[in-house]
Amino acid sequence: MAESKKQNEWLEWGKAIIIAVILAFLLRTFVFATSIVEGESMHPALEDGERIVFNKLIYIISEPARGDIIIIQHPQKNYVKRIIGLPNETIEMRDHTLFIDGVKQDSTFVNEYDELLTGNFGPIEIPEDSYFVMGDNRAISKDSRNGLGFIDRSDIIGRSEFVIYPFSEWQKTR
């Protein structure tokens, strides 16, 4: 009888472990994933080498919004950038000031120095189902202005939620 009880206990532990592994796999595949920030283009919001958790499910149930820090799937590598312009908007940088559809925008996530280093461009009309992205460290960022171009909706694979490494830097990324 003790032998039977021990076998049942092992069976229950085995079931629990299998369920946990399947659940972790499903969460990792369809809901959350991690990425490592490469480079300084998102400084000060994100630093080189930080590991972030991004939400893969969010854009299935909602649309990307201005200010979201997103993960962009690109053939060579994935990029982490901030959404600045939305589909069908006209974006322009004039005299160190961002205008969207002719309305001056306050850039709360870019410091004044980086704003001064952002050159004039536009006006540029963003196509349907595309986004205009920039790094917060605009002086060195490869983004929609200089190499990435407009970002197709289908290339956005998630929204950054948390910095999880290094442990001393745990924080929400929005």
d(CA 98, CA 91): 7
Residue that has been written with the tokens 């745990």 in this structure: 170
Both tokens of 91, joined, read: 């974006």
Taking alpha carbons only, the member of 148, 145, 146, 151 closest to residue 130 is 151
Give 152's strand partners.
Answer: 130
- The catalytic residues are 41, 81
Collapse the DSSP code of 58 into the 3-class scheme (helix H, G, I; strand E, B; otherwise coil) and give the result: helix
What single-letter amino acid sits at 156?
Answer: I
d(CA 58, CA 81): 16
